[in-house]
């Protein structure tokens, strides 16, 4: 999931109003789960569009429940959630990305999860952790997300490459081989600028043993490991192995298809995009785990399902979430969307248990790193975005860029 392009100004302006509204409690009487009622649901991106179909199936099995799903674009999701919370008009159920879960939990907008109904042992640890804050759980993991290496196998053969790179040193070597022997324009696509560049950088940072903020709230953005990771990352731009700038909305799959970019770090949705949009590529690409530095580590993303603290339909909302996050519901959701199930039981049968590609995803997810619980995480990572761009464009050394980010982040950490 790409986090929404949230404006700090909006969040700060509405923060006090949100706190007052969201902390007002359950907001009136509660409707029992078996009563006739309408559940309002906000879901983002492709999930918002697909969830409407699942809602129709749920309504047939539960005719007393009407589910109104409103799809929201990820680019405006944060602003809409903040504004709705401040106005006391949040929907009953909300999809919420991990990057700003903590912010809304901190402001009191979310109902704590009943951990008797939803048990931590059933979900990927990284997925569960994303929904937790200050000793409580506020989101039930719906799907999980991480990044792996996509690479062109046909071009690899032409370049004399017989296996995926296993280390960060091999990654750069293989990228060079693609350029020099297979004639690709670049060797690897990584993000040099723009919103959420940090999501591209995480694979290098975490694999090098670096962090931005520790779990106990200490800013470490300019640690030796982080500096080394950014030096490695930016070397792809200075050596001409990766494009030094990309336009907003850049779609790497187009260049992956035409062969100008033979490798990129992508999420599970890229599998569907490649299969659907470029059927001629079938059998010409594969995925592999993130090449190891000190370790092989990737970011943990995905979304959770949350309930508004002011909802009057909490019982019905809980039942709907149980359906979506249970073993059968998760397997059905995977078939519809290719989103990786957060419920580990869903991986024990069918395609999820037998497909070799799924083993790559599961292995990467097992070691995926979760962002720390920080209410201002979006602001914090924007400072890393800036550091990446400065270093990539040669406006600062990696150490200078991260030293500057460290100073800015220090005042945001809680």
Average the pLDDT over 242-255 and give the result.
93
Instruction: Look up the pTM and report it.
Output: 0.83
Q: Residue 13 above 60 pLDDT? A: no
Query: Which pLDDT does position 63 carry in this prediction?
Result: 97
Query: Would you tell me how many other CB atoms lie within 10 Å of the CB of residue 302?
Result: 28
- Give dist(CA 291, CA 167) in Å, integer: 4
CATH of domain 8-145+300-366: 3.40.190.10
- Fold category of 148-298+376-410 in CATH: D-Maltodextrin-Binding Protein; domain 2 (3.40.190)
| Residue pLDDT, tens place only, 52-62 | 999 999 999 99
- CA 234 – CA 394 distance, rounded (Å): 9
- 21-72, pLDDT tens digit by residue? 434 344 458 999 999 999 999 999 889 999 999 999 999 999 999 999 999 9
pLDDT digits (tens, 9 = 90+) for 360-395: 999 999 889 998 888 888 899 999 999 999 999 999
Question: Domain residue spans in the chain?
Answer: 8-145+300-366, 148-298+376-410
Task: Mean pLDDT check: name the lowest of 92-101, 160-169, 212-221, 331-340.
Answer: 92-101
Please state, in angstroms and rounded to a whole number, the distance separating the CA atoms of residues 355 and 350: 9
Q: pLDDT at position 97, please?
A: 81
């Amino acid at each position: 999931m790409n986090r929404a392009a949230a404006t700090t100004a909006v969040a700060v302006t509405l923060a006090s109003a949100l706190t007052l509204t969201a902390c007002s409690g359950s907001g009136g009487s509660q409707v029992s789960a078996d009563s006739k009622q309408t559940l309002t649901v906000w879901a983002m991106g492709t999930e918002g569009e697909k969830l409407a179909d699942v809602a129709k199936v749920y309504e047939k099995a539960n005719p007393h429940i009407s589910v109104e799903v409103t799809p929201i674009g990820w680019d405006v999701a944060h602003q809409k959630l903040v504004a709705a919370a401040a106005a006391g008009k949040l929907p009953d159920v909300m999809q919420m990305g991990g990057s700003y879960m903590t912010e809304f939990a901190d402001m009191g907008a979310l109902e704590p999860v009943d951990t008797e109904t939803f048990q931590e042992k059933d979900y990927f640890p990284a997925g569960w952790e994303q929904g937790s804050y200050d000793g409580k759980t506020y989101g039930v993991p719906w799907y999980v997300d991480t990044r792996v290496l996509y690479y062109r196998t046909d071009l690899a053969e032409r370049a004399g490459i017989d296996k995926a790179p296993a280390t960060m040193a091999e990654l750069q070597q293989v990228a060079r081989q693609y350029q020099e022997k297979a004639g690709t324009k670049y060797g690897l696509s990584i993000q040099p600028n723009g919103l959420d560049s940090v999501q591209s950088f995480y694979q290098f940072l975490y694999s090098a043993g670096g962090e931005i903020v520790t779990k106990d709230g200490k800013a470490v953005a300019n640690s030796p490991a982080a500096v080394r990771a950014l030096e490695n990352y930016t070397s792809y731009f200075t050596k001409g192995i990766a494009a030094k700038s990309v336009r907003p909305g850049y779609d790497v799959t187009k260049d992956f298809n035409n062969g100008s970019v033979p490798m990129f770090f992508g999420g599970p949705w890229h599998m569907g995009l490649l299969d659907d949009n470029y059927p001629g590529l079938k059998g010409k690409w594969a995925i592999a785990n993130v090449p190891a530095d000190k370790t092989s580590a990737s970011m943990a993303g995905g979304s959770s399902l949350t309930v508004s603290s002011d909802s009057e339909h909490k019982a019905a909302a809980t039942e709907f979430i149980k359906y979506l996050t249970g073993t059968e519901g998760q397997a059905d959701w995977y078939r519809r969307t290719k989103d990786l199930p957060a419920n580990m039981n869903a991986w024990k049968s069918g395609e999820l248990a037998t497909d070799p590609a799924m083993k790559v995803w599961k292995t990467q997810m097992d070691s995926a790193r979760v962002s720390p619980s920080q209410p201002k995480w979006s602001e914090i990572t924007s400072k890393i975005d800036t550091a990446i761009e400065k270093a990539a464009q040669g406006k600062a050394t990696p150490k200078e860029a991260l030293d500057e980010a460290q100073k800015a982040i220090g005042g945001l950490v809680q």
